[in-house]
Chains A and B, each alone.
Chain A
Amino acid sequence: EVQLVQSGGGLVQPGGSLRLSCVVSKFTFSTYWMTWVRQAPGKGLEWVANINEDGSIKQYVDSVKGRFTISRDNARNSLYLQMNSLRVEDTAVYYCARPPGRRLDLWGRGTMVTVSS
């Protein structure tokens, strides 16, 4: 079954760091762009970042630029989101997703990130 398996969420203090992972299976990871989307508690969806097939192009929403880094390891079929200088407003469920043709056709189950003192 084609799937995205996420890990790495948790509770962190403001100013802290966290790295999210997304391991994919049953599709050729290295031929797809990948995306992170987040959802604050009780709120709607917000696009966070994209990365192209070889990691040479990275795109971010303004609110995370300079703090978050999207990356990938095609040999490990893995996508990452390194989150530094975390703020209370970064509290959300983070989803990894696959965006062929910009359509988000496959989603992970999400991982909760809570930023609180």
Chain B
Amino acid sequence: DIVVTQTPLSLSVTPGQPASISCKSSQSVLHSDGMTYLFWYLQKPGQSPQLLIYEASNRFSGVPDRFSGSGSGTDFTLQISRVEAEDVGVYYCMQGIQLPWTFGQGTKVEIK
């Protein structure tokens, strides 16, 4: 199975400041079809997860442009340019290149 490792596991951020989460996979998630099957999700408290970023760097519909994804191969980053109060929750990255699809452990983001 592909192991997906996120760092840090928790983050406390002052509103308006940037935040960054790293996601590393044990194998490349670049598929032979040219797609990079790496996704980012946010689970707000008491809610279902929601898709933020797909294929490593594409913002999903309705996601604010302060969220951005980057990276390739095995190393990826989610950046929030200016954290807002509504961004609190647990962020997960997920690889979809190989079964079983696997998630990182999650990064809990809180506001200072």
A associates with B: yes
Mark A residues whose CB is within 8 Å of B: 37, 44-47, 59, 61-62, 95, 99, 101-105, 107-110
- Chain B 74-112 against A: per-residue CB contact (8 Å), 1 yes, 0 no? 000000000000000010101010011111111000000
State whether A110 touches B54 (Cβ < 8 A): no
Shortest Cβ gap from B60 to chain A (Å): 7
State whether B35 touches A47 (Cβ < 8 A): no
State whether B92 touches A44 (Cβ < 8 A): yes
A-B contact count (CB 8 A): 53
The CA-CA distance from A61 to B2 in the complex, in Å, is: 13
Given A47-B101, A110-B48, do A105 and B60 touch, yes or no (CB 8 Å)?
yes
Asked if B37 is an interface residue, CB under 8 A from chain A, the answer is yes
Chain B interface extent, by class: 20 to 34
Mark B residues whose CB is within 8 Å of A: 35, 37, 39, 41, 43, 48-51, 54-55, 60, 90, 92, 94, 96, 99-106
Can you name the residue of chain A whose Cβ is closest to the Cβ of B102? Answer: A47
Given A44-B105, A45-B92, A45-B94, do A104 and B100 touch, yes or no (CB 8 Å)?
no
State whether B55 touches A103 (Cβ < 8 A): yes
Shortest Cβ gap from B68 to chain A (Å): 16
State whether A103 touches B49 (Cβ < 8 A): no
State whether A107 touches B49 (Cβ < 8 A): yes
